[in-house]
Amino acid sequence: MTIVVVGSSNFDFAARVAKLPTPGQTVSSQGYKTGPGGKGCNQALAVRRLGVSPVFVSKVGDDMLGNQLIETLAAEGLETNHLIVADEAQTGIALISIDETGENMITVVGGANMTMTRADLHEKQDLLRDCDYMLLQLECPVVAIDCAIKYAREGTATVILDPAPVADLIVMRDLLAHTHIVTPNQSECLALTGIDPVDEATARAASIKLHEMGPKTVIIKMGCAGAFYSSNGQTGIVAGFAVDTVDTVGAGDCFNAGLAVALHGGQSINDAVRFACATGALSTTNNGAADAAPRLEDVLTLLETGAA
């Protein structure tokens, strides 16, 4: 029983600013924090902290930042033997600004992530076919993501696609046609459906459009308002958890990790979305992306007591 994560690894540089800059503006910061990031890496590390050892397929450069990422992941107990070191590309980085409210702006330099090829995944095809859940995002080339989905569907895996960042709509339609579970946040949902899911009624309307594109399960992440789900005729909204938020950068990734771990553990869709909401919410109480991923015992406490 495995969870496979195929996706990006970045080295994140995050600076706190009073206000996010507007175009052409320069703002200053008192300091910055570095750490593991990239949507794939964040999801993989969060899965690990929730007690499941995922297979993580990703690419880094043959450079200092790549080595540091590999060391950090290994120290967390994440198996790094499926990380591929690219010959001629730098490790991906993300330049992040976070304001006083926890809102952020991110510039990603994809680097080695954008060199992932079908040939890379061909080498891992047995793992990709044999897994139970496959977590994907869109910070690697679409041909690679498409290929990962193909292998997953040749086997028995449930494909969970985080449509982040949203690609061209024609590409998105192709990917969604073969996706089992799609998990957009509100802005991704708006980009995919034209509907801004601000409440249950609008989320339901958007979910109908997303179902028409292929996924049997649609989960819309609504930030502190929680999440809406629609799966095999069952729909519902799970309320968000009230926590002291300092940084939301890794929240969406931690949500998806929580979802996969809970479904992998046999939880119902409602319980799995609640577990995912708790995982995402807790990640916002710490600084960093992958670094902020919560541990299983803290998620269970939040679920039980409603307090972090």
- Interface residue list for ligand RIB (CB under 6 A): 8, 10, 12, 37-39, 42, 94, 106, 108, 139, 249-250, 252-253, 289
The residue among 222 and 269 lying less far from ligand RIB, judged by its C-beta, is 222
Task: Select which of 253, 271, 291, 298 is catalytic.
Answer: 253
The residue among 44 and 157 lying less far from ligand RIB, judged by its C-beta, is 44
User: Least Å distance between CB 156 and ligand RIB?
Assistant: 28
Q: Tell me whether residue 132 is one of the annotated catalytic residues.
A: no
The secondary structure of the chain, three-state, reads CCEEEECCCEEEEEEECCCCCCCCCCCCCCCEEEEEECHHHHHHHHHHHCCCCCEEEEEEECCHHHHHHHHHHHHCCCCCCCEEEECCCCCEEEEEEECCCCCEEEEEECHHHHHCCHHHHHCCHHHHHHCCEEEECCCCCHHHHHHHHHHHHHCCCEEEECCCCCCCHHHHHHHHCCCCEECCEHHHHHHHHCCCCCCHHHHHHHHHHHHHCCCCEEEEECHHHCEEEEECCEEEEECCCCCCCCCCCCHHHHHHHHHHHHHHCCCCHHHHHHHHHHHHHHHCCCCCCHHHCCCHHHHHHHHHHCCC
User: Least Å distance between CB 176 and ligand RIB?
Assistant: 20
User: Least Å distance between CB 252 and ligand RIB?
Assistant: 6
The residue among 39 and 264 lying less far from ligand RIB, judged by its C-beta, is 39
The residue among 11 and 229 lying less far from ligand RIB, judged by its C-beta, is 11
The residue among 8 and 72 lying less far from ligand RIB, judged by its C-beta, is 8
User: Least Å distance between CB 250 and ligand RIB?
Assistant: 6
User: Least Å distance between CB 289 and ligand RIB?
Assistant: 3
The catalytic site residues sit at 253
